[in-house]
Amino acid sequence: CSSGGVLVYSDSNPLKRTLTADGQETKKKKVVVLGSGWGGYSFLSYLNNPNYDVQVVSPRNFFLFTPLLPSVTNGTVEARSIVEPIRGLMRKKGFEYTEAECVKIDASNKKILCRSKDGASSGVKDTKEFDMDYDVLVIAVGAKPNTFNTPGVEENAHFLKEAEDALKIRQSVINSFERASLPDLTEEERKKILHFVVVGGGPTGVEFSAELHDFLVEDVAKIYPKVQEFTRITLLEAGDHILNMFDKRITAFAEEKFQRDGIDLKTKNMVVGVTADEISTKEIATGKIVSEPYGMVVWSTGIGIRPVIKEFMHQIGQGQRRVLATDEWLRVEGCDSVYALGDTATINQRRVMEDIAAIFSKADKGETGTLNKKEFKSVVKDICQRYPQVELYLKKKKLRNIANLLKSANGDDTEVNIETFKQAFSEVDTQMKNLPATAQVASQQGKYLAKCFNKMEKCEKKPEGPLRFRGEGRHRFQPFRYRHFGSFAPLGGEQTAAELPGDWVSIGHSSQWLWYSVYASKLVSWRTRSLVVSDWVRRFIFGRDSSS
Ligand code: FAD
Ligand code: MG
Ligand code: MG
Ligand code: MG
Ligand code: MG
């Protein structure tokens, strides 16, 4: 508002105000972003809309490059090399950051409750609680390690999720070797201390086992030659195979390599409890329970939902679900102005069969009850764009396009009626899959959402879009589409398995180099990139640092 020709801001900070097209001054929309991980950081890096007042809330004032976290556990890479302070990005973009954890989301009042971290390490013990309003909330808080309520895990096992976890593991591994080297221990005692157990045969558990094994053969053998013979690594997996999300060839290669390396691989074994000295497993086929002494357990069996999100889900009527659901535009279902991405959420994909009648009647312009070639062609593009499962289905059936799919249902008839149309798509929805909880997905979602936010005003003014089904004209943006660029599974000994798009599998030393270069290029800044590359070079020349 202006008084006597002088601008007076009711909100004292001019940065929080903006001019509209007709010269009116309005308060900027306040976008609160929860989390500074893959999803949050990517969203913030691509967000370029001066009309937003952006507030970031995260207990962690840095981004963590998680794919290299297993390499921190044995000192191949330093923790400092894979974190990027968030303050730099904040300054560059003019965003604000608050180091706190969101402990409650109050969606009906558009408010969150935050709690500052206690600075226990710096001697400050008290925490502060405060409210924060939002106009738009972006939830990217990730997930927490899942213990499946197995007794004793929380108290006795290590997790591998955050930078400090990796540092603790590193310290604990080295301490184990120092303790096992003390005089007057029995052979049994040394064996117990040096028994490393990894629970979970997913990519993280496998990579950690491989890193640990490399450390044992390449470094420990030289540094602790007297106790090396007592070391043992056990990898426990409840399922039939490790790396079961990968191609069978990769699983087989990994299992064989681990066997050759002397890693004790036990599949079909479920951990039922961990005490301070023993880990108990149940053999799934027989139900037999065995307890073994151990020195250190690393728990990596997947992720679970954070309590603050669980509570939020109850509030908005998603209490029955396992994960927070969004639509394909990443908007949280049952709640206004709240978006969610990354590990914390999953996209509730629409079924083609649910919409099939609507799709058909939209496409049938002349209302003739059949689709002619032209009508059919125009609807095909929309379907492919709107329903990702169609593409997967065509790939699986080795069909080039929907026309072929229809041909198999309709023969050579050029006109398509609703029945054949339905029949052609009847199995498509079986290909619906939730996206994996990966950095690749979270960062693509962050980028996608930022791009939507960047053109929000334009789209609000011109609310037409490419999507015409089910009254969805009001959605101005194309839905999020994931592009898979492939996955890696480092297996130790400078060997990596790579599964690339197009069914391309490569295993060995060449993929290791591909892995090095892909991850170096994915690092978020030249600073971290140069730090990581120099860590790798240092390790090649001097070996790993073994001080704890
Ligand atoms: P995160 O990256 O976990 O970020 C969550 C953020 O939210 C953090 O900043 C956290 O501090 C903050 N936060 C937590 N609670 C709150 C709260 N209450 N309020 C506010 N902020 C909060 N994926 C791959 O694609 N390739 C890999 O090679 C790979 N390797 C991995 C290796 C390891 C060891 C691990 C643990 C994961 C790996 N992943 C990999 C998975 C990948 O890290 C996750 O999928 C990704 O981090 C998900 O991003 P996100 O933004 O959802 O969560
Ligand atoms: Mg995040
Ligand atoms: Mg992260
Ligand atoms: Mg996460
Ligand atoms: Mg997700």
Distance 58 CA to ligand 1 centre (A): 12
Cα-to-centroid distance, 318 and ligand 5 (Å): 16
Does residue 40 line the site of ligand 1, with CB under 6 A?
yes
Per the DSSP assignment, residues forming a β-bridge with 101 are: 115
Question: In a 3-state reduction of DSSP, which class is residue 513?
Answer: helix
153-304+485-542 matches 2-143+305-345 in CATH topology: yes
Ligand 5 center to 341 CA (angstroms): 6
* Minimal-distance CA residue to ligand 1 atom 3: 142
Cα distance between residue 425 and residue 387, in whole Å: 11
CATH superfamily, region 2-143+305-345: FAD/NAD(P)-binding domain (3.50.50.60)
**Residues 220/257, Cβ–Cβ less than 8 Å:** no
**Cα-to-centroid distance, 118 and ligand 5 (Å):** 29
- pLDDT of res. 82: 92
Q: What is the pLDDT of residue 475?
A: 47
CATH code reported for the domain at 351-433:
1.10.238
CA distance 115 to 125: 13
- What is the pLDDT, as a whole number, of residue 12? 47
Query: Measured between alpha carbons, how far is 423 from 113 in angstroms, rounded to an integer?
Result: 51
- pTM value is 0.88
CB of 70 closer than 6 angstroms to any ligand 1 atom = yes
Closest to 445 in 3D by CA, of 346, 526, 312: 346
The best mutation among 326, 343, 491 to test binding of ligand 1, ranked by most ligand atoms within 8 Å of the C-beta, falls on 343
Pocket test for ligand 1, best of 112, 141, 160, 524 (most atoms within 8 A of CB): 141
- Other CB atoms within a 10 A radius of the CB of residue 96 amount to 14
> What pLDDT sits at residue 520?
76
| Residue 63 near ligand 1, beta carbon < 6 Å | no
Using CA atoms, how far residue 227 sits from 176, 220, 222, in Å, is 10, 9, 11
CA of 144 from ligand 4 middle (Å) equals: 7
pLDDT of residue 19: 59
Residue 289: strand pairing partners: 282
Distance CA 545, CA 223 (A): 11
Ligand 5 centroid – CA 462 distance (Å) = 30
Query: Side by side, which strands form the sheet with 195-199?
Result: 158-159, 296-299, 195-199, 232-236, 264-266
Tokens of 386: 């709107």
528 contact partners, CB below 8 Å, separation of at least 6? 65, 81, 82, 83, 84
435 alpha carbon – ligand 5 mean position (Å) = 6
Q: Which residue, by CA, sits nearest to atom 2 of ligand 1?
A: 37
> What is the number of the ligand 1 atom nearest to the C-alpha of 64?
2
Q: Is 384 helix (H, G, I), strand (E, B) or coil?
A: helix
The enclosing H or E element of 496 equals strand 495-500
CATH of domain 153-304+485-542: 3.50.50.100
Contacts of 110 (CB under 8 A, 6+ apart): 133, 134, 135, 137, 337
35 lines ligand 1 (CB under 6 A): yes
Q: What is the pLDDT of residue 471?
A: 42
- The partner residues of 282 in beta bridges, in order of sequence, read 270, 289
- Determine the pLDDT at residue 177: 94
Beta carbon of 34 within 6 Å of any ligand 1 atom: yes
Which one, of 240, 235, 171, 248, lies nearest residue 206 by Cα?
A: 235
Of 58, 56, 61, 60, whose CA–CA distance to 134 is shortest? 56
CA angle 323, 134, 341 (to 5 degrees): 30
| Residue 416 three-state SS | strand
Atom of ligand 1 nearest to the CA of 344: 52
How do the domains of the chain map onto residue ranges? 2-143+305-345, 153-304+485-542, 351-433
pLDDT in the model for residue 293: 98
Residues in the chain with pLDDT values less than 50: 1-12, 463-475
Per DSSP, what are the bridge partners of residue 159? 299
Dihedral angle at the C-alpha atoms of 359, 363, 365, 370, nearest 10 degrees? -90
Q: Report which DSSP code applies to 285.
A: T
